[in-house]
Structure formats: structure tokens, C-alpha cells
Amino acid sequence: MNITITGSEGFLGKLICKKLEILGHELVKIDFTHGDDVANPQVFANSIDSELYIHLAAKSYVPDSMIRPADFYYTNVVGTLNVLEAARINNARVIFFSSYIYGNPEYLPVNENHPFNPHNPYAQSKLIGEDLCRAYYRDFNVPVIIFRPFNIYGPGQNEKFLIPTILKQINSGQVKLMDPNPKRDYIHCTDVVEAVVKAAEIKNFGFEIINLGTGVSISVKDIVEVFVKFSKTNFKVNFENSVRKTEVNDCYADVTKANEILNWTPLKNFEEGISELLKINNL
């Protein structure tokens, strides 16, 4: 299959590209490190033979979205529009990576019908992207699968995120974190890659929205305890006990739909994932 993938050099993009190439697919790779701006429709000129577009490219670090909201809206919204337009012109399918847009859960586990409550420009830009996907399916029959991943982690993740932050601090002997209480659903990157591969293999999907998570949440305090359990490096942990303004105390995904549509189930448990990360980093 000919596949165009945006964000091909990112944390997740590299892993997806590697897996798809092993499976024999031909890829057109679009990434800002190549000088590609997804907000410029000309970067899709070489994708005319693509049967599928996997759209990962986005500005994604939430605190930055509060400082430069216009940059996030422009890149994330216009970039998604350009992908959908390229897919329309080329009669192709789309896999769009959205985000956790549910806000503070009204019920648990969170399924795909849960009300939306984005509370930052990044999440809002992803919700607008979803609306564009829905519109292109409605008006032009562009098939779209939207993934709403919960908290992805694994080797190569940006150091700004929680788990890489802990890894970075362990060597100093002192791990400093804010709040020990918030709980999140952490899904390993290899499980996300497998979901993408399964979605890519479906030739006749229409419009679907699918959560990607594990169905289990784990607190920051429990995460640290897993690090302590498996690390060969001694370190101390200090919590500031400061609470973020818009903190979500607990969330975990209902992944029933992913299982039904993709025949997908996450395979890597959290302890296994952290243990592997520590070995990779010789910690």
C-alpha cells in the first residue's frame, strides 16, 4: 500500500514508519525536520498515489499552547484540513490522531460518547480537527478513523512529559515532582503502533472514533514506586504537593470499541514498559 504519514520523525511517527516499512508498505514521509510545513498544502504534492494518510503532525505540548495559542490553532487545524483535502482529491482514507478531549470525566471508564470538555488550545485544536474529519466524511465520503489516545509513553518520548522527566532526574539522585495524586491511563507506544497497523488494514471503514488506552489508571505516586521497584539506581523523591488549576484527578479509557472494530487489545502492562525503559537508559 502507498501511505503518506505526517509527523514521520516524531516519537510515534518513527515507530509507525518502521513497522509499516517492515510490512512492505511504500511511504511518503512528511515532517517539519525535512522542512515540511503541514499548513502548506504544497507539501502533499508527492502523495498523489497514496491510498491512506496517517496524520500525526501537530504542535502538542499543552503548556506551550497557552503561550502561543495562534500557532497551535494554525498548524493543527490547517494541517488537518490539508490532509483531508489531499485525501479527498486522491480518493484515500485517513487515520487522524486526536487527543484526550474529555476533560474531567463525568463517569469512568471514559467511552467515545463521553461529553467533550477541552480546556486548553491544544485540545480545542484537536476537537476542531475532528469536526473537519466528520465534515469531509459527510460531504465527500472521505473515510476517517479518529484515534483518541490517552497517555502514550515509551522510548524516545519528549523529555517534557512525565515519564521521561522522571527518567532524566533519576541519575541526579533526586526526583522532584508536583502532585502525587493524579491518575492517568498510560498506554505503551508499541500498542498504539499495533492499533494503527490494524486500522490501516481495514479497507472499507466509514467514520469511526476510537479510544486508545488500557482501561487502567495509575497515579503519579504509583508510577514512582514502579520506578523504585525496577531501577538499579538509588534516588530520592520529593513531591511539592502543588495542584494544577485544571487538574483531572482520574481518567481511564473504555477500549471496547477498539477491540470490536480493530480486534485490538493492549498487550504491554505498565511495569513491563517501565522496566524496559530503565534497561534502555541503563538505570
Do the domain assignments include residue 240?
Answer: no
Predicted pLDDT of residue 206? 96
Q: Is residue 180 part of a domain?
A: no
Q: How many domains is the chain partitioned into structurally?
A: 1
- Residue 155 · residue 184 · CB < 8 Å: no
Looking from the CA of 178 toward its CB, the CA atoms found within 13 Å total 9
Task: Tell me, yes or no, whether 227 lies in a domain.
Answer: no
* Model pLDDT, residue 52: 98
Residue 273 located in a structural domain = no
Over the chain (283 residues), the average pLDDT of each successive run of 10 is: 97 98 98 96 95 97 94 98 98 97 96 95 97 98 98 94 95 94 97 98 95 98 97 95 86 98 97 97 95
Q: Which residue in this structure is represented by grid cell 500557532?
A: 71
**Does 105 reside within a domain?**
yes
Residue 279 lies in a domain: no
In a domain, 117, yes or no: yes
Q: Which domain holds residue 33?
A: 2-157+187-215+251-267
Q: What is the pTM of this model?
A: 0.96
Residue 162 lies in a domain: no
- Hey, what's the cell of 33? 525536520
Q: What per-residue confidence (pLDDT) applies to 247?
A: 85
Distances (CA, A) of 196 to 54, 55, 97, 121, 200: 9, 11, 10, 26, 6
d(CA 30, CA 41): 12
CATH code at position 112: 3.40.50.720
